[in-house]
Chain A
Amino acid sequence: MSATPHRLVLTGGMLFDVARDSRHEGHLLIEGGRIAAWLDDAGLARLDAVPRVDVAGCLMAPGLIDLHTHLGEPGDDDAETIVSVTRAAAAGGFTTICAMPDTQPVTDTPAAIEYVRRIAARDGAVRIEPLGALTMGGAGTHLSELAALAEAGCVAFSDGDRPLGDPAMLRNALRYASMLDRPVCLTALEPRLMRGWAMHEGAVAHRLGLPGAPDCAEEIAVARDLALAAHTGARVQLGIITTARGVALLRAARERGVPFSAATTPHHALLDDRWVLGWLGTRPTEGLDPTRLPPYDAATRITPPLRTPDDAAAVVAALADGTIDLLVSDHTPRTSAAVEREYRLVPPGITSLETSLATALALVHAGRISLATLLRCFIDAPARLLGRPVPRLQPGEPADLVAIDLAHDWQVDPQRFHSRGRTSPLASQSLRGQIALTMCAGRIVHDDGRRPVVG
């Protein structure tokens, strides 16, 4: 992509104010990496010498923030590099991705944090903010030097997708973290109920002969994590919430006023365990079609597992009423060699940065959540959890933004992903809503091929 001009006008976009849930058309002047002004038609006419990009009809919003991205680099750059993951992020509308600490090495030292920040600044198309490992090696037995990690610039603490099994250890970790003004992102799963699991425990797993992870593994962990959050006063984010039982506990905690943040993914809201059945199941009458996949497809192996249709419906309801306030991609790149194997032994995780927004938009198009809710879950809530001002498309703000062509239908083709990861359960499915243009710090980092800079 050629260098973005220092001054640029994005013309004809639909400006969306999440706070007021209002839209109006206008033109956005970008200058020196920041938003300089909103222009009406007369204002645009006065700037006819300034280069323009036509984003007519597109929804304009601040860049999305992903709190849960797994990197490949350092450690597994066959699966993903900083270049490929940030290009994938840009293509998915994300201008900031928060990197899970489960790289090789694990980011449990200031040097590891600084390394990720350095290569991110050098190679990244978008911003990468590293999380620090809550425990050494993410192994759950010894606390990392959390204060040193915070000073080195980590934005949050987490052990990635590995749940901390020992409640006494978790209590100590939360108490210690509470003095450091960093949130702790927890995986709400009880590992002792998930030994040898392949998918969600239920009728589908039973038919396929696969060992299951029961929903109570989440329910127990949610209860425990909520209790420890209240007890320690730590700022916690519970993730990734996937079950009706987990949602019920969270909703009750919201009603009591317990402060917490909770995350889910668009795929857990929209897909379910029938996707593991693939063409052995029945074709749905509308929406996405799981029968296009073969049974036991590696792209359906996800942690936490895809749950039942009732669970997915409960997750959507929780997004709609604010019980769950965060959407994350849980992007997890894998090489094809790593996933071409026995289903239960496939390392869980899918390539999702480039499909997350469009997947979540399917809920908006179906009238199940509002567009404002979707944007709050991808923009406002992550910013708040990171302790930052909520991004707005206002003069003076950094030009981290996205133009979304809400009506554009496209077919998911993993071979055309920018990510090196190719595992997606959505392969060949049709989604509505595509990123027209992504800008990070005033630089165009992605466009849909129909956005030439004119003038």
Chain B
Amino acid sequence: MGEPAIVPGGRRHVLDLDDFAAEEISAVLETARSMQEVLGRRIKQVPALRGRTVVNMFFEDSTRTRISFEVAARALSAAIVNFSARGSSVEKGESLLDTVRTIEALGADVIVIRHAEAGVPQLVAHAFGGSVINAGDGRHAHPSQALLDLYTIHARFGSIAGLRVVIVGDVVHSRVVRSGLWGLTTMGARVTLVAPTTLLGPAAYWHATWPEVTVTTDLDRAIDGADVVMALRLQQERQDAGLLPSLGEYRRRYAITAERLARAAPHAIVMHPGPMNAGVEITPEVATAPQSVIEAQVGNGVAVRMALLYHLAGES
């Protein structure tokens, strides 16, 4: 592992990217590149977090994010404990914060938490003496996903400033979008959000926090000349809630198809935070096309999460 770009101990929690300056994001991405190098070795492990305990608290189902953090912690030689709400004291009525206090008493240094309710990582950070990494809270934030997306974009283009990023899908309910907007706008990208009005939300709500962002319902126009096209998972429940007439109508207007992608810049990349509904928000053909970096995103996720864990819990 080369000289890490970030100084461990400089930050206590990663709850969102709203408090990350460009320099800190760049430092995380640079450390992640060192971590990527570790992951390419025959023995994929360094002792940076030896003796530290990381607890994965996932109150919402997740495969890739949970395993990604687990692999990252192991690669840094940390002890990793997986806490699952199912069958736990939480199911027996213990409150979230009592559970957190118990986990602290058991010696946890870092809690990685995912929860269906926005604001839970803030609540936990308030009660916990160690570090908290938000692995997704409701529709609020998903900072490690945003950082791995930045890493992936940076790896392809060598920089982020000035790129045109188009994000298509259920943006109003998306934590990936909110954290992504903090990261992308901080790094100087120009972001356009595309969705039908019911999944878009009023432009004024977006502009109050991110004045630079463009919002539109017209994908065919927005995708014109885009450098990055990101599709989001469309959940069936949006149709059930009356926000969409049908998945078919959504697909016709908003799916990333080869024809639509042809309007983007020739060097454009296609991203998706997963899990994908191939055939709904993206065609299987596009998902596996050469422009697709969807698989790279998953691999990059481990390196970025190693960088975050190192950032919070590594020896300074």
Contact = CB atoms under 8 A, between A and B. Distances in A.
Contacts of A203: 204-205, 208-209
Interface residues of A, number: 20
Interface in A265-291: 280
A296 B118 contact: yes
29 contacts: A198-B118, A204-B208, A206-B172, A206-B201, A206-B206, A207-B208, A208-B119, A209-B118, A209-B175, A210-B119, A210-B138, A294-B122, A295-B122, A296-B119, A296-B123, A337-B95, A341-B95, A341-B96, A341-B97, A342-B96, A342-B115, A342-B119, A343-B117, A343-B118, A343-B120, A343-B123, A344-B117, A344-B119, A344-B138
Given A341-B95, A344-B117, A345-B117, A206 B209 contact: yes
Interface in A192-251: 198, 202-204, 206-210
A232 B95 CA distance: 47
Contacts of A342: 96, 115, 117, 119-120, 123
Contact of B118 (A202, A208, A337): A208
A295 B123 CA distance: 9
B140 A209 contact: yes
Interface in A284-319: 294-296
Given A202-B205, A280-B18, A341-B96, A295 B117 contact: no
B213 to A, nearest CB: 12
A210 B118 contact: yes
A146 B95 CA distance: 40
Nearest to B120: A342
A321 interface: no
Top 7 nearest A-B pairs (CB, nearest first) are: A209-B140, A203-B208, A296-B119, A342-B117, A206-B205, A209-B118, A209-B139
Which interface residue of B96, B115, B118, B122 has the most chain A CB atoms within 10 A? Answer: B118
Nearest to B208: A203
Which interface residue of A208, A280, A345 has the most chain B CB atoms within 10 A? Answer: A208
Contacts of B208: 203-204, 206-207
A341 to B, nearest CB: 6
Interface of B: 18, 95-97, 115, 117-120, 122-123, 126, 137-141, 172, 175, 178, 201, 204-206, 208-209
B109 to A, nearest CB: 22
A280 B118 CA distance: 15
B93 to A, nearest CB: 11
A340 interface: yes
Contacts of B141: 209
Nearest to B19: A280
Nearest to B97: A340
A206 B139 CA distance: 9
A207 B138 CA distance: 12
B178 A296 contact: no
A296 B122 CA distance: 8
A344 B96 CA distance: 14
Nearest to B142: A209
B119 A295 contact: yes
B251 to A, nearest CB: 26
Contacts of B115: 342
A295 B201 CA distance: 22
A203 B18 CA distance: 15
A294 B204 CA distance: 25
Nearest to B179: A209
A337 B141 CA distance: 26
Nearest to A280: B18
Nearest to B119: A296
Nearest to A201: B205
Contacts of B120: 342-343
B209 A294 contact: no
A194 to B, nearest CB: 14
Contacts of B126: 294
Nearest to B204: A203
Nearest to A337: B95
Nearest to A276: B119
Given A209-B178, A343-B123, 16 more contacts: A204-B208, A206-B201, A206-B206, A206-B208, A207-B209, A208-B118, A209-B119, A209-B138, A210-B138, A295-B122, A342-B115, A342-B123, A343-B119, A343-B120, A344-B119, A344-B138
A207 B204 CA distance: 11
B249 to A, nearest CB: 24
B56 to A, nearest CB: 19
